[in-house]
Structure 1
C-alpha cells in the first residue's frame, strides 16, 4: 500500500471514529458557526451535519444560553486554553433526552462539557472543539445518594408517626436555646402539651385510632407554629413547643389559641368523629433554671397543675 493510500485509510478511520464515538463533537469558528457535527450530535439533536454546517449554533438551538457559551468560546480563543464545565455547575448545555434505560428517571441528559482550542497549521487558534459527555447515570446516582442521605438525616430528626421533631432533636434544640440564654439572656418559653384522657381513647377505640388522634393533634400543633418555633413529640401523648423570643404572657396567648382550636376540632376516624382536649404547661426560662432538665421539670409541673385543676386548660409555672 502506498504512503498516500495509507494516509487516506488512516484519515477514513479517524473520520469514522469521530462520527461514531459515544460523545458529542462540535467544532465552532469564531463566529459560533458549526464546522463539524458528529453522529452523537446528529442522533440526539435530530439535526444532520449537512443541515447544521455553516450555520450559527444559537440559531439552530435558541434554548442554548448564548451569552454564557459565547463567553466560554471567546475565552478559549483568546487564552488558547481549554475550559471544563461539569454537570454540577450547569446540568446541561444542550437539552437532549436521555436514552439509556438506567437513566430513564431523568427528564434530560446531564452533560459534562469541555471546550478545547484547535490549533491550525500556522499555530493560530480560530476554532473551538466542544466535547459533550453524557454523564446522566453518574449524575442520577449522585443525586439519588444525596436524596437518600437527606432522607436519612430527616428520619434521624423526625418522629416516625407524627412527622414532628423527635425527642433527640428536641433535646438538641433545648440545649441550643439554653446555651444561648446563658451567654446572651433573652426571653424564651417552653410549652409541654398533653392529650387529656388519651388512655381512654386507646382503651375504647384501639391503638390504631389512638395513632390517628396523635397525628391529628400533631398536625394542629405544627400548623399553628410560627417561623422560628420548634414543635416536637416528646413521647407518648406529650408534645413540646419551644418558643424562642417569647415571654410567658405571649406563650400563654399562643397556648390558649391552640387549646381552644383543638377543643373545637373533630378527629375523623372510621369509628366516627372523636372530640379531644389538651392541657398545657408553660415555663419561661430564667436564672432559676440551672439546666435544661430543670426547665423541663418546671414546665411539667405547670402541666401537672393544669391537669389537676380539671384539664383542658393552660397553666404557667
Structure 2
C-alpha cells in the first residue's frame, strides 16, 4: 500500500524560492481505476506533522473500492488509530525537547525529565498493549487448565484497588478451560472500563447458562448507545462524549478482552445494565457438567 506524506515548506518559502519538489509514483492495486498515484513531495523538513497528516488523511486516500471491504476498513481504522496514539506522546516529547534546546539556561532539568518520562511511559504502555493484542489467544491448548471462574474473579478483584466498591455475585463450581493470566487480563480490562464510568458501584457476576459459563461486569454509569455496541470492541474505538477517550475511553483494553474471549472459544458482548449503565457479558464453554448449578 502506498502512503502519501505532505512535507511542509520552511517558513518564508514560496513557489519561486521554496524547495524543489519531486513526484513520487507508487502503485496500489486496490485503488481501482487509478493504480499509479503521483504525489508531490517538497524536499524540506521531516517532522511528525506530515506523518500525522498522512495518518489522519488515510481514509480519503484509499478510495471507494478499499472502503467497501470491511476487513480492509477495520485494518485502516486500526492503523490510523495506532498512528494517532503514538504520535500524540511523540509530539509532546518533541515540543519539550525543542523548548529545552532553545532555552537551555531557563530549563528546569528535573521537570523536563519528569514530563518526558511520562510521555515515554505512555508510549511504552501503548506498544505493550499492541503486542498483547497481537499475541492474545496464541497460547497452545496444553497451557490451558480447568479453573473455577468464581475463584479467578475473586483473585483478580482482591488484588486491585477500586475507585468505587465492587460487588460480587458468584456461583462457585463454574469450571472453564483457560490460560489463567489471559483471563486475568480480560477481567482486568473489563473492571478498568467499569471503574472509569461507574457512579457508585461495579457488579461482577458468574453463573452457568446452558453449556456456557457467563461472566458479566456491570457499571451504573451513563451506558453505551446501542449503535456503538460493536464499535466499542474495535481497537481505539471512539464513542460519544459521555464515554469518550478524553475520560480514558476504550483504547485497546476492550479489543484485547474480545480477542481473549474468542481465542477461548467464547464470545463477548455489551448490553444495557439494569442500573442504567453498561453490562459486558463474556460467555465461555464449560469444561464439564456442573451438577445442580445449571438453570
Question: How high is the TM-score relative to the length of structure 2?
Answer: 0.22
Larger of the two Rg values belongs to structure: 1
So what's the TM-score if we normalise by structure 1? 0.21
